Amino acid sequence: MLRSEREDRIVSLLAEAESGLLRVKDLSASLGVSQMTVRRDLESLEERGLVRRVRGGAMHMDNALLFEKSFRRRGREFFYEKIAIGRAAAAHVKDGDVIILDAGTTTLQVARHIRAQRVTAVTNALPVAAELAARPSVSSILLGGNLKGPELCTVGPMVSESLAEMAADTLFLSAAGFSPERGLMDPDMREAAVKRSMIQAARRVILVADSSKYQAICFAHIAPIGQLDLLITDTGLSDDARRALAAAGVRLELVEPGPRSAAKAAAAQRERGA
């Protein structure tokens, strides 16, 4: 088993543990490796904020990426990068397109910047649907399913079944983590399943994610990185990351976040309904 696979398995085992705590010797037995190897893996995971080591074992970190933050809280993080990414992504929408907008704070920015006419937009996100409802140039379809409160989106088999009957030009996809090795990731298996259905329904897949998501590790795997047609992210992405993604065949579009004052003015103008 590769180290990356072991680390993913450790996070999964901790997630499934009733007490949230497992001993090193138990992890060693489950993985079939030495306790020293487990300790090294736990040290690496702790450095990335995914676990907390305790005497003789490890436990969940309440603020780890394994657990999701609320939609509103995430919307405040990397806000100006998300505006720039959303504006750049919206430029890929052409008149008459059928698009899918995933649930996410960055895809909300995509919706806010669409200028094309006669667009049909499919989404499982309530904030995105609300944004599009005010646009006469966009015909919006809200996918029904089980409502997930913190994320303000729908999940479950009803969503996937509806997507199976659709064919879209472009999917604007979000992800809580991405890397050449692990692909696209999300903390929730239900959302990951919906995202896979969206990928299947679209002719082109564009990931919209700020650079902080690079090498962030989450519980659920969505898809290999090779399923992307384009990644739109900000210039905070390191040179090493750019080279690694390019080597994996990922086409990049890098955007520079605008001045904070300009972004604030744009947000204020939007709130006034201008």
pLDDT at 68: 47
Domain range summary for the chain, segments of one domain joined by + = 3-60, 71-271
Most confident of 40-44, 62-66, 69-73, 166-170: 166-170
pLDDT at 22: 84
Could you tell me if 86 and 115 are in contact, meaning their C-beta atoms sit under 8 angstroms apart? no
Q: Report the percentage of the chain scoring pLDDT > 90.
A: 61
CATH number of 71-271: 3.40.50.1360
Alpha carbons 161 and 246: distance in angstroms, whole number: 34
Q: Say whether pLDDT at 264 is over 50.
A: no
Tens of pLDDT, residue by residue over 101-152, are 999 899 999 999 999 999 999 999 999 999 999 888 999 999 999 988 767 8
Q: Which amino acid, one-letter code, is at 190?
A: R
Pure H helices in 91-156: 105-112, 126-133
Q: Say whether pLDDT at 73 is over 90.
A: no
Alpha carbons 238 and 244: distance in angstroms, whole number: 10
User: Residue 61 — pLDDT band, cuts 50, 70, 90?
Assistant: low
β-pairing, 168-173 with 177-179?
unpaired
Q: Say whether pLDDT at 258 is over 80.
A: no
Quick one: fold of 3-60?
Arc Repressor Mutant, subunit A (1.10.10)
Q: Which amino acid, one-letter code, is at 143?
A: L
